[in-house]
Amino acid sequence: MSTLGALKDPEIWLLPEDEVDGLTEQAHAVLSSDEHARWARLRTEAARRRHLGARLLCRSVLGAYAGAPPDQFRFRKGHFGRPELDPNPWRLRFNLSHTDGLIACVVTDGLPCGIDVERLLVAPSVVRFGVERLAPAERARLDAAPPAVRSREFVDVWVLKEAYTKALGSGFQYGFDSFQLGPDSRRGVLLEDPRQPEHDAVCWQFALSTTSTGHRLAVAVRRREHTSRAMPMPLKLFPSGDLLCSLPAYSEPPPSAACPVD
Residue 141 lies in a domain: yes
Q: What is the pLDDT of residues 121-144, one digit of tens each?
A: 899 899 999 999 999 999 999 999
Question: For residue 121, is it within any domain?
Answer: yes
Mean pLDDT value across residues 84-111: 96
Q: Is residue 204 part of a domain?
A: yes
CATH of the domain at 192: 3.90.470.20
**3-22, pLDDT tens digit by residue?**
666 788 999 999 999 999 99
Q: What is the pTM of this model?
A: 0.91
In a domain, 257, yes or no: no
69 part of a folded domain: no
In whole angstroms, give the CA distance from residue 163 to residue 35.
23
Amino acid at 38: R
Using the predicted structure, report yes or no on whether residue 258 has a pLDDT greater than 70.
no
- Burial of residue 33 (CB within 10 Å: 0-12, 13-18, 19+) is exposed
**What pLDDT shows up at residue 148?**
86
pLDDT of residue 199: 81
| CA 65 to each of CA 4, 8, 37, 235: distance values in angstroms, whole numbers, following the listed order | 5, 11, 27, 15
How far is it, in rounded angstroms, from Cα 199 to Cα 202?
A: 6
**Helix, strand, or coil (residue 31):** coil
Is residue 227 scored above 90 in pLDDT? no
Whole-number pLDDT of residue 172:
85
Please indicate, yes or no, if residue 178 is contained in any of the structural domains.
Answer: yes
How many structural domains compose the chain?
A: 1
User: Residue 251 pLDDT more than 50?
Assistant: no
Indicate whether 61 belongs to any domain.
Answer: no
Burial status of residue 90 (CB atoms within 10 A of its CB: 0-12, 13-18, 19 or more): middle
pLDDT digits (tens, 9 = 90+) for 186-221: 777 889 999 998 788 888 999 999 999 999 999 999
Residue 246 has pLDDT above 70, yes or no: no
pLDDT value at position 243? 42
The domain in which residue 129 lies consists of 11-17+92-247
* 262 confidence band (pLDDT: 50, 70, 90): very low
Cα–Cα distance for residue pair 31/70, rounded to 1 Å: 9
Q: Is the pLDDT of residue 261 over 50?
A: no
Residue 201 lies in a domain: yes
Distance between CA atoms of 119 and 213, rounded to whole angstroms? 9
Q: Which of 76-90, 184-198, 244-258 has the lowest mean pLDDT?
A: 244-258
Mean pLDDT of 150-179: 94
